[in-house]
Chains A and B, each alone.
Chain A
Amino acid sequence: MSFVRSAALTRTSRPRALIDFYLTLMRTAIQAQFQYRVANYMYMIGMVAEPVIYLVVWSTIAEQHGGSVEGITAGQFAAYYIVWTLVRNMNIVFTPYGWEERIREGQLSAQLLRPLHPIHYDVAFFAGWKLVVIVMWLPIAVVLSLIFHPELDVSALEVAVFAVAIWGAYLIRTMFLWLLGMTSIWTTRASALFETYVMAELLLSGRLVPLQLMPDWAQRLADLLPFQWTFFFPIQALVGELSTEELLQGLGMQVLWTAIGTGLVVVAFRRSVRHYSAVGN
């Protein structure tokens, strides 16, 4: 491994230094991203199109069938897909495609020279960006609510769990996309793998439809995979009728999948870095 452990001098204050590092990088990300408001909004509008399409299709079906599909009314679909827009934004992390560029341009070599594991930079930078995104999302949510009239009845606990769960979703997806991204160190043709992953995620995470609408076998399959904890669970925490026990279990599952993802990243990174040969200047 080519990155150097920080010197013994700073070891005593390492946690504090790490917190300081995160706060600084998040502040930088916030300042940088607020400069690109038009670009950020275009991105968000492009993304909002997707749930609006699903919402329109499923509300049409609900209306054709006396007001609901599998017990979900048009208003509940509206609530689901409006909350979806925020959860989707929280799901955007450093992409596997970014990894290709990172390697091709030799940026990874520079990152390896720094005393911190490179994943900290991504986690901190995108976390800062998320704060900008959340602020910019609020007016979008208001407009969508005025148009589609969501039925939403939330308790304080649900709001609290949701506020934590969106960050859980962020961490799980960061870890798994990092894992995918690292395959770029081994092969230059990793995009087929990414696309397959994204398709499986689309179908089994609750991104396409609330999972209740999927066939039983697909729901059982989804239970074995991390996808639903980054999409379906955070949304359901707010718009669904989950019991306190279910809410806490959900958070537990998020912790579990974050831990699994982190473990895999640590192991895979160690092996990948040994395989990595530098490109760039």
Chain B
Amino acid sequence: MRALRVAWLYFRIGAMNELHYRANFFIAAFQSLLALFTGLVVLALVFSHTEQLHGWSHAELLAVLGIQIIMGGVIHTVIQPNMLRLMEEVRDGKLDYALTKPEDAQVLVSVRDYRIWQSVDIVSGAVVVAVALGQLEREVGPVDVLAFAASLALGALMIYCFWLVLSTGAFWVVNMWTVAELFEGLYLSGRWPVGVYPGWLRYSLTYLVPIAFAVTVPAEAVTSRLHWGTLVAAAAFSAALFGFTRWFWRLGLRRYSGASA
């Protein structure tokens, strides 16, 4: 609870700061539209040469695209800004300021920074999912919505863990400026259901980089493919991943030798 209160406090401060820069909203909206347009062109191109991809129809892949955009919005609004700041502070020795505060260090480094305008993607992704559901002509009951929301939340948690493990690497490898590029590259794979990829890649994109859990599983929830077993597995895996992340974070923190300034 305390962690949530701290997160909310930082969020309010962050939002107030960002609200000064309203023009950034239009930039973010424009970028969001461009990315959406590109995604739609790619889908159109693929489906000009085929009727289905590994059993997924055009409308179903549209839902996948929408969820990938939603999750991307969550990542860029909440997760990535914090992680980039963490890596920067490890390099500059400024992490001292966070470590000396009377609050759990992992909580603090995870909730300090927000890019609220990036949440435009959450909205545009949601619109895409809604359009896709309209094309699928599917009844969406309260159970589906619940399963969708749960898988989305678990997915976001796993992506957060993955990002924090990567960022913790900064304690050993100081120069990590390329890590965002690495993540963006890998995250593109979420545009397609994980079943498309060959075995070794499918496993990597599920357990090593949990993009399958973050995008494909929620997409299965809205396209009547989800088994309850998958959702339970997702919950178990995210709990294990969270435990590992916490252990790894503490291990990294022990290497931190403090301010150079």
Q: Which A residues form the contact surface with B (CB < 8 A)?
A: 36, 38-40, 42-43, 45-50, 52-53, 56-57, 60-61, 64-65, 69-70, 147, 189, 191-192, 195-196, 199, 202-203, 208-209, 213-215
Residues of A within 8 A of B176 (CB): 39, 42
Cross-chain pair count, CB within 8 angstroms: 90
User: Top 4 closest A-B pairs, CB basis?
Assistant: A46-B185, A46-B182, A49-B185, A43-B178
Interface pair A192/B30, CB less than 8 Å apart: yes
Interface of chain A: mostly helix, strand, loop or mixed:
helix
Interface pair A43/B196, CB less than 8 Å apart: no
Residues of B within 8 A of A203 (CB): 38, 41
10 further A-B contacts with Cβ under 8 Å, apart from A36-B175, A53-B192, A57-B196, are A39-B173, A45-B185, A49-B188, A50-B185, A56-B197, A60-B196, A69-B50, A195-B31, A203-B41, A213-B49
Q: Range of interface residues on chain B?
A: 35 or more
In the complex, 22 of the A-B residue pairs with CB atoms within 8 angstroms, ordered by the A residue number, are A46-B181, A47-B181, A49-B188, A50-B188, A53-B191, A53-B192, A56-B192, A56-B196, A56-B197, A56-B201, A57-B46, A57-B196, A61-B49, A61-B50, A64-B52, A65-B49, A69-B49, A69-B50, A191-B31, A196-B34, A199-B38, A213-B45
A39 to B184, CA, bound (A): 15
Interface pair A49/B186, CB less than 8 Å apart: yes
Interface pair B175/A39, CB less than 8 Å apart: yes
Interface pair B179/A57, CB less than 8 Å apart: no
Contact A214:B45 (CB < 8 A) given known A52-B201, A203-B38: yes
Within the complex, which residue of B38, B48, B198 is in contact with A56, where a contact is CB–CB below 8 Å?
A: B198
B53 at the interface (CB under 8 A from A): yes
Within the complex, which residue of B50, B173, B184, B192 is in contact with A65, where a contact is CB–CB below 8 Å?
A: B50
Which of A48, A60, A196, A202: most chain B Cβ within 10 A?
Answer: A60
Residues of B within 8 A of A208 (CB): 42, 45
The residue in chain A whose Cβ has the minimal distance to the Cβ of B200 is A147
B54 at the interface (CB under 8 A from A): yes
A52 to B181, CA, bound (A): 16
B198 to chain A, nearest CB (A): 7
The residue in chain B whose Cβ has the minimal distance to the Cβ of A36 is B175
Residues of B within 8 A of A195 (CB): 30-31, 34
B189 at the interface (CB under 8 A from A): yes
Residues of B within 8 A of A36 (CB): 175
A20 to chain B, nearest CB (A): 30
B177 at the interface (CB under 8 A from A): yes
The residue in chain A whose Cβ has the minimal distance to the Cβ of B38 is A199
Q: Which B residues form the contact surface with A (CB < 8 A)?
A: 23, 27, 30-31, 34, 37-38, 41-42, 45-46, 48-50, 52-54, 173, 175-179, 181-186, 188-189, 191-192, 196-198, 201
Interface pair B191/A46, CB less than 8 Å apart: no
Contact A209:B181 (CB < 8 A) given known A38-B173, A46-B186, A192-B27: no
Interface pair B48/A70, CB less than 8 Å apart: no
A207 to B183, CA, bound (A): 19
Residues of A within 8 A of B191 (CB): 53
The residue in chain A whose Cβ has the minimal distance to the Cβ of B176 is A39
A39 to B172, CA, bound (A): 12
A236 to B52, CA, bound (A): 28
B210 to chain A, nearest CB (A): 15
Interface pair A42/B188, CB less than 8 Å apart: no
Interface pair B178/A46, CB less than 8 Å apart: yes
Contact A199:B27 (CB < 8 A) given known A42-B181, A42-B182, A61-B50: no
Contact A39:B49 (CB < 8 A) given known A45-B185, A199-B38: no
A46 to B191, CA, bound (A): 15
The residue in chain A whose Cβ has the minimal distance to the Cβ of B178 is A43
The residue in chain A whose Cβ has the minimal distance to the Cβ of B23 is A189
Contact A40:B188 (CB < 8 A) given known A56-B197, A61-B50, A208-B42: no
The residue in chain A whose Cβ has the minimal distance to the Cβ of B53 is A60
A215 to B42, CA, bound (A): 12
Which of A42, A199, A208: most chain B Cβ within 10 A?
Answer: A42
Interface pair B185/A47, CB less than 8 Å apart: yes
The residue in chain B whose Cβ has the minimal distance to the Cβ of A188 is B23
Within the complex, which residue of A49, A56, A64, A191 is in contact with B27, where a contact is CB–CB below 8 Å?
A: A191
A199 to B54, CA, bound (A): 27
Interface pair A57/B53, CB less than 8 Å apart: yes
